[in-house]
Structure 1
Amino acid sequence: MAVFSDVQFTPNVTVQALADSIAKLMLSQPKGIMILCSAEAASWGDDFKQYVGTLDVPIFGGIFPGLILDSRFEPRGILVVGLRTNIRICVIENVSTCAPVSSNMAYMSQSVNSVMILTDALSRQIDGYLQHVLGFLPKDCSVFGGGAGTLEFKAQPCLFSAAGMHQDAMILVEMSTQWDIAVGHGWEILAGPYLANSTDDNCVLELNFEPAVQLYERVVQEHSKLRFDEHDFFDIAKSFPFGLARLDDSVLIRDPLKLQGSGLICAGDVPENTMLYIMSGEADKLIEAASGAVKRTISFHINEQGVSDCFLFDCVSRQLFLQNLFSNELDLIHQEINPPHRTVGALVLGEIELDQSGILSLHNKTAVAALAKIKSHE
């Protein structure tokens, strides 16, 4: 049985277009609704709040730089997804200013099988909140999600719930569905490591005891023909992310999004005194890493169960880097999902995943696919 009751897409980004899509979706009798919208929805405000107040089905979602439907990338539109199983939604406000320990997670059911987390990508303390959430999850619970926002990197409401639109917030969606998580990025070390000797949550202030911007721009320019004084910062930085060295020898990718004085604002925190690499990538290796992770995950369970519908949270800067080749990545991932099952998701600013070793991480420049498990006899 499919996890999604129905999926509706419209290129029109208005509250009325949303209402029309949900009216069609309601014919499938969903028990919950996910709403994914492009940047134009940031101005909805009170009109959205008034509309969702009329719904008697739990809703959640957010604003993202792009939408994913099967093997298609949609830069503009509204994607609504009906869920067949009951969901439970919690909204955490003021993520940047309230300590994670002040959030009461005791409500979380110990029988929950999975949690989707959507967060305002520009919030501080995201990693601290993720670790706090982890302490309340039952064993074998799968966790996945992504960061909402736009490529303007402007602080504004970007998350949806039945209460309206939210800024500087995190949404937790409890589900009874079981999911397998596939993760891949394909980025490789270009230079480093460098000591992040001074950081402030998601802002890298110094590398090797010199201003972070100064070292980063010098190294990138030494390894490329690009100059930062001739381009917008992110136009270059999207191709040269940081790699945060981890104890298991893996590398957690961090996107430098914009400048703040002599510091670099990243999508996710960078702990002080960690080692950072500067990374680079080749299109073929990025595509293989993402699609290969999905294929391996499906193959591992092929004798136990099939795979149903798929949520895909793919980093927007992968799409910006791959450009026209991004469709190859979506094609190869969706080929693993047998019809009539669907792939739905968004281009995100940071990808969330709980790995098999129990580490809950905010990734950048990575593809995270959640593959719904179905029993072999279904």
Structure 2
Amino acid sequence: MRQEHTALILLVDEARESEHLFHQAQAAIAAGAQSLLLLACERNGLTPALVDAGLQALPVPVFGGIFPQIVVGSRRLEQGYVVCGLPFAVTVEYVAKLSDPGADYRSDLAAFAATINPPQTLVVLVDGLSTRISALLESLYGEFGDECTYIGGGAGSLSFQQQACLFSNHGLVGDCAQLIALDLPVGIGIEHGWHSFAGPFFVTGSHHNTLSSLDYQPAFEVYRRVVEADSGRSFADTPFFELSKAYPFGLVRLTKDVVVRDPLFCRDNAIMCIGEVPAHHMLYILKGDAEHLLLAARDCTLTALRAQPAPCMALLFDCVSRALFLDDRFQEELDTIRAHLPADLPLLGVLSLGEIADAGNACLEFFNKTTVLGVVADA
């Protein structure tokens, strides 16, 4: 079904209680919304027990998730909700068992593809702490290829404890992906601003998102030597993520592009990352500074606008660890993005646990520490 009109209903509520989410959802439906994008902040403390009955009672398709923070315009919310009502019904597909090593995603996706016409855009939302996100994206690109544009990101908690984090008509769900088919064109910008600092290193041991060895040495020992020498600080008396947020990994692609991987924590000399780290790949340790990250946000915005000159909405997936790294200067990143968009263009987004887009490498990537902006045009 062609989606003819894209007038949006955008409702913001900064209260934490789940009743406010459903009050705004009902208001959007009363105003004519035929499907709902629901965004909630992690601080709201939602659980399936609090929201499942309300989600199951909604009469229109629902998608969205719980994220560390939400972005509206150049504001970021640390608690509350955003309800975006769409004036057309969307098709939402679920792919379960996103950490199951035996799951065959290709067969599920082939069945999904058989039920719809190829959409112009697929919005892909995932549980950001699942361990086989890259495997899903590989299967998804294998099914749809470059027939459509992709944009999305990872929901979840900064506690890095996996829990139900995606909204659905069945309730609050986890360890899965949502695929939302839109018959609307989207221009994409993708930038990160990090540069190679040490390496390359050869990944000699990894399993899903766990990096165990580099150049046949324990991964943490290699990483520790580089980071401590450059930072002048020690992991012995500094929390792991406090240091690692400034020194991400960079996976080298055949095009020489670098895809960033966030090191989350260390266990038994292995490093757990957001997103998979494939064995037998080259990677670098990266470094960055505020000025280059802010320039990357500007370039991301300009690229997305050039690709879509008649916009009706901007959709932002900005990595939460960029906010943690930039700290007080992260507001400058949001201000930069907002300033380079048309003044009357609605901007809605999230601080995500990983970002999803096609960077032109003949594959679909799960990025970390990256800004992905989609500029949506009218049908």
Which of the five TM-score ranges fits, normalised by the shorter chain? over 0.9
Percent of aligned pairs with the same amino acid: 30
Look up the equivalent residue of 1:323 and give its one-letter code.
D
Tell me whether 1:105 sits opposite 2:110 in the alignment: yes
Cα distance, 1:4 vs. partner? Answer: 5.2
Q: Give the deviation of 1:92 after TM superposition.
A: 1.3
Q: Quick check: 2:211–2:273 contact (8 Å CA) kept in 1?
A: yes
Contact conserved, 2:44 with 2:79, CA < 8 A, in 1?
Answer: no
- C-alpha displacement of 1:272: 0.4
Distance change in 2, residues 1:228/1:139 (3 Å): closer
The equivalent of 1:53 in structure 2 is 56
Q: Which residue identity is paired with 1:364?
A: N
**Pairwise CA distance, 1:40:** 3.5
> 1:145 maps to which residue?
152
Q: Does 1:131 pair with 2:138?
A: yes
- Structure 2 length-normalised TM: 0.94
1:290 to 297, 303, 306: 297
Partner residue of 1:258?
265
Alignment of 1:67-216 (within 5 A): 67-97=70-100, 98-108=103-113, 109-137=116-144, 139-216=146-223
Counterpart residue number, 1:273: 280
Q: Distance in 1 between matches of 2:135 and 2:193?
A: 26
User: 1:352 corresponds to which residue?
Assistant: 356
Specify every segment of 5 or more residues in structure 2 that has no aligned partner in the other structure, as ranges. Answer: none
Check 1:138–1:265 CA distance in 2 against 1; reply closer, same or farther (3 A cut): closer
Structure 2 CA distance for aligned equivalents of residues 78 and 135 of structure 1: 35
Q: Give the secondary structure class of the aligned counterpart of 2:88.
A: coil
Q: Does 1:335 align with 2:342?
A: no
Q: How big is each residue's C-alpha offset from its partner over 1:33-70, in whole Å with a ceiling of 9 and x where there is no partner?
A: 11111114454313311011221111111111111111
Letter aligned with residue 362 of structure 2: G
With over 3 angstroms needed to count, the CA separation of the structure-2 counterparts of 1:60 and 1:4, relative to structure 1, is farther
Partner of 2:313: 309
Greater Cα offset, 242-251 or 41-50? 41-50
Aligned to 2:323: 319
Aligned residues: 372
SS at the partner of 1:293?
A: helix
Deviation per residue, 1:315-342 (Å, 9 max, x gap):
0000011112111111111223324321
Q: Deviations over 1:214-260 (max 9, x none)?
A: 11111100111221122211111111100111111111100011123
- Partner residue, 1:23: 26
In structure 1, list runs of 5 or more residues that go unmatched. none
Q: Is the 8 A contact 2:300 2:371 kept in 1?
A: no
Distance in 2, Cα, partners of 1:3 & 1:316: 28
The residue that corresponds to 1:361 in the other structure is 365
Specify whether residues 340 and 27 from structure 1 end up closer, same or farther in structure 2 by C-alpha distance, changes over 3 A only: farther
Question: What is the rounded CA distance, in whole Å, between the counterparts of 1:6 and 1:74 in structure 2?
Answer: 18
Q: Equivalent residue of 1:73, what SS? A: strand
Between the aligned partners of 2:190 and 2:7, the Cα distance in structure 1 is 22
The alpha carbon displacement at 1:101 in A equals 3.5
CA contact (8 A) 2:93 2:112 kept: no
Cα distance in 2, alignment partners of residues 111 and 300 from structure 1? 20
RMSD value, Cα? 1.7
Separation in 1, partners of 2:303, 2:42: 34
CA distance in 2, matches of 1:113, 1:138: 12
CA contact (8 A) 1:119 1:170 kept: yes
**2:306 is aligned with 1:299:** yes
